Structure 1
């Protein structure tokens, strides 16, 4: 539900953001997220039927969901940076997201068990989630500033020369800036989708993998395991910071894909807790590809189209995620007794592909 409902609204929000105000897609999607978290809180607090959560998830998606939110954030980040430093700027934004996720994952297991043996177990965690969502919405409405380049008229945007002397993917710049190289943009889309297939499949199956043998972790250990995944945001940030000085965007993308593919292959043969953390450690640059693909695309299109293009990419990734979740969960159920690492092996193959 959360993956498909944004298809109805996210592109429209991206178009409105490009045309009227950059914060539209961010604030509307945050409002939907807040309402969804409130639905969770009321379900736990008043013991409402579980079906309420489907309505809350649909409401979140109809407000744009993560697709509209993150495409809006990436558009703001792209507009507020020069082409030469854009990859670093976008990975810094991803780093902040990752650090937040790390803190949340570390605390989630403890917060969930705060009211032990009580019928409202999880109430503290749900209340914290509502508080964070409320803060995010009001911060975006009242504090977040739009880069001044957005305030310029459309005429100014079309007349100012942007530095495109060096193409991000190593090819010469197009002769006509009005017509971006569609073939390169299409290939970047395909690369992002295939890689996302691998990543989403692994991330979706991982909690099930943690809970079952051979690991058989409890809630706190699962929280720590998920937190280990968020450290990838930090290592990927450091990777972009270093690699962007001497490598092209395409090279950085491939480094990230090889990093994730190798880690997924190791994950397939994990038997002990320490082996799990070694496999996650090998994935240290796994975040670089998608972020750098966004940066590469932003250098090939006009600033006035960022919202629409980024939301199309995010919707493509969201749709891919829905299909991947269904397929991977089926594969996991069919193979967990024979070879529990089948899904991770498949992800490794897709990543190298």
Structure 2
């Protein structure tokens, strides 16, 4: 809990600063700094395990890493970079591809970390992590091309007070420079995005639910269940790629939400191993909403505002994820004896919020703006 809460505020500040900075001076620095922070943290963890330093040193290392932006800034910059190099038609697919990579590789890391820990121990595990972070840093410095064209004078310019205020005011500029209908759409999509992250927090309870009666799964079944969950990211990517050819973005998000809600309702009544595996089948498109919502928001924003937008999205994702974990863990603890599946039912009910927002946006179509053509129209002015 301390590791989550202590670095939260500095992480938000640095993420917004780097996001707005990247809109003016390029994305590479906003990708490089969090990578350097991750390298320093992993080297610090290596030192803690090797020299048996006190456990509170870990809190210092996590805070230090967050002062470089942390994973929140890294994810925001990564999605902004993808938005820069993608056309309007490519954004859905590429956002879904990046989301799939994050989900699959993160899941593989979770599944393999226990085996690696038992095989090589903490010291070698943190050494491997440090080498990966170092490789990422080298790639960003020497091989990654900048997605924003910045003049040499701007690159060498020293940031004064005026420039610093300009960077910090990026989120304000994002709203004040937009029309009313555009502000409404962005705000409602951000609320829908946060609500979906909030309800997705229930997935952290699957292992607890599967270990409890009446399922009583062993470690082998838990592993199979986790692997089945990873397949959801692959099928969702394929779903986004296919549906983007025939459906509006709103409908793709609605399909994903209904897939997730159906799976949660089914999990509420899952009392056998077969039914619990079928829950993963029903959730086959559950990972589609987030990348498509990112793409929808990206299409609403001019290229010069992509960094601050995805910094805002990344911060909301971090905040909603933290709140979601607190809520669902406490709800599950309070209801596990009498109604163990109540948390899944609650998550399904929360789906009503983004569904209502998307239905409203489908109905409300200002004549002067169409989000799919907004970039072209504003760019021509």
In the alignment, the residues of structure 1 paired with residue 239 and residue 33 of structure 2 have an alpha-carbon distance, to the nearest angstrom, of 33
Counterpart selection for 1:151 from 149, 152, 158: 149
**What's 2:100 paired with?**
95
Counterpart selection for 1:60 from 41, 52, 65: 65
- Size of the aligned set, in residue pairs, is 322
Counterpart selection for 1:13 from 12, 15, 18: 18
**What's 2:169 paired with?**
none
Aligned in 2, Cα 1:146/1:207: closer, same or farther, shift over 3 Å?
Answer: farther
User: 8 Å contact 1:28–1:64 — kept in the other structure?
Assistant: yes
Question: What is the Cα deviation at residue 114 of structure 1?
Answer: 1.5
In the alignment, the residues of structure 2 paired with residue 274 and residue 90 of structure 1 have an alpha-carbon distance, to the nearest angstrom, of 32
**TM-score normalised per structure 1:** 0.83
**TM-score normalised per structure 2:** 0.77
Counterpart selection for 1:23 from 11, 23, 28: 28
In the alignment, the residues of structure 1 paired with residue 29 and residue 255 of structure 2 have an alpha-carbon distance, to the nearest angstrom, of 35
In the alignment, the residues of structure 1 paired with residue 281 and residue 40 of structure 2 have an alpha-carbon distance, to the nearest angstrom, of 36
The Cα offsets for residues 56-76 of structure 1, whole Å up to 9 and x where unpaired, read as: 222232222222111101111
Aligned in 2, Cα 1:212/1:139: closer, same or farther, shift over 3 Å?
Answer: farther
**What's 2:184 paired with?**
183
Aligned in 2, Cα 1:350/1:338: closer, same or farther, shift over 3 Å?
Answer: same
User: How is 1:103-182 mapped onto 2 (pairs within 5 angstroms)?
Assistant: 103-114=108-119, 121-147=121-147, 150-151=148-149, 179=179, 181-182=182-183
Question: What is the Cα deviation at residue 216 of structure 1?
Answer: 4.8
Matched position secondary structure for 2:90: helix
**What's 1:72 paired with?**
77
* Superposed CA RMSD: 2.4
Aligned in 2, Cα 1:11/1:333: closer, same or farther, shift over 3 Å?
Answer: same
User: 8 Å contact 1:71–1:314 — kept in the other structure?
Assistant: yes
In the alignment, the residues of structure 2 paired with residue 291 and residue 310 of structure 1 have an alpha-carbon distance, to the nearest angstrom, of 12
User: How is 1:267-306 mapped onto 2 (pairs within 5 angstroms)?
Assistant: 267-306=267-306
Aligned in 2, Cα 1:131/1:326: closer, same or farther, shift over 3 Å?
Answer: same
In the alignment, the residues of structure 2 paired with residue 88 and residue 257 of structure 1 have an alpha-carbon distance, to the nearest angstrom, of 18
In the alignment, the residues of structure 1 paired with residue 265 and residue 124 of structure 2 have an alpha-carbon distance, to the nearest angstrom, of 37
Aligned in 2, Cα 1:126/1:212: closer, same or farther, shift over 3 Å?
Answer: farther
**What's 2:314 paired with?**
314
Aligned in 2, Cα 1:136/1:320: closer, same or farther, shift over 3 Å?
Answer: same
Question: What is the Cα deviation at residue 276 of structure 1?
Answer: 2.9
User: How is 1:186-225 mapped onto 2 (pairs within 5 angstroms)?
Assistant: 186-199=187-200, 201-216=201-216, 222-225=222-225
Q: Which runs of 5+ in 1 are unaligned?
A: 116-120, 154-176
